Amino acid sequence: MNNVTTTEAGTVTATLGLVGAGKMGTAMLDGWLSKQVLAAPPLVIEPLPSGHIQSLADQGKINLNAAAEADQLDVLIIAVKPQIMSDVLKELRIVGPRTLLISIAAGKTIEGFEKILGSETPVIRAMPNTPAAIGLGITAAVVNAHVSDTQRALCTTLLSAVGDVVWVEREGLIDAVTAVSGSGPAYVFYMIECLASAAREAGLPAELADQLAVATVHGAGVLAAQSDEPPNVLRQNVTSPGGTTAAGLDILMGSDGLAPLMRRVIKAATQRSKELRD
């Protein structure tokens, strides 16, 4: 795969295909296009394209459902639901021994892909999360033994278009990653719901309660991400002894508070991810 390269400007010159332009596939595609990551329009395979995807095709920004005319690709990103993954992969003619497969499907193991495509196939298993839709995702990824350093760098370029990218050394860690960052946005959404609901019970109008809850989580998240200080120091900085924050944290940090609850949450989600492995 000598032609799988990124130029110095970070442009991917490899031939690229995306299968499944749903929520996550579209988020990645939009990231590549807005950041001008790709040297040429990618092939996109999607049986029921959204208006947005059709419009990208009409503008010549993607080659939609043109697999019949395509040669074997350098890179294929597969973003279909796990349940149909095997059937979709078996039908694809654009995947050959030199194609790097990047899967973002939950529960689909590298071994499973090797069984379908051949044990020598370079495979990357990645786990993104929904803030990718606004370019603020985080993706953790793992390679099999056949992925070259160049292919790994190329994957970093592609996934970086929708947020941060981290590499893990063992595939077994992906279950915990799925539990933390894959499922994590839903936990935070629920925390916003609970904060807003408690705010309403404390007498605030519903709209104000929602606004305060969302802005607080957003502001604290951005501050934590941008600050040089770790979260525990940021917390201590806003907690005066005997003050209101201390009174709230006494509950949140109690023996039946958030820490044991979050341990149970991550344990349950990690276990479920293991059960869903193929």
Ligand X SMILES: NC(=O)c1ccc[n+]([C@@H]2O[C@H](COP(=O)([O-])OP(=O)(O)OC[C@H]3O[C@@H](n4cnc5c(N)ncnc54)[C@H](OP(=O)(O)O)[C@@H]3O)[C@@H](O)[C@H]2O)c1
Residues that bind ligand X (CB under 6 A): 19-25, 45-48, 79-82, 84, 88, 104-106, 127-130, 182
* Residue number with CB closer to ligand X (174 or 196): 174
Number of residue whose CB is nearest ligand X: 22
* Residue number with CB closer to ligand X (95 or 209): 95
Q: Report the DSSP beta bridge partners of residue 139.
A: 165
Query: What whole-number distance in Å separates Cα of residue 15 and Cα of residue 66?
Result: 13
CB of 163 to ligand X, least distance (A): 12
Instruction: Specify the amino acid at residue 184.
Output: G
- Alpha helices (H) along 144-257: 149-160, 174-177, 184-201, 206-226, 231-237, 244-252
CB of 83 to ligand X, least distance (A): 9
Residue 229 makes CB contacts below 8 A (sequence gap 6+) with: 237
* Residue number with CB closer to ligand X (6 or 139): 139
CB of 76 to ligand X, least distance (A): 11
Q: Give the residue among 45, 43, 122 at the shortest CA–CA distance from 80.
A: 45
CB of 168 to ligand X, least distance (A): 15
Q: Give the residue among 133, 124, 131 at the shortest CA–CA distance from 105.
A: 124
* Residue number with CB closer to ligand X (166 or 208): 166
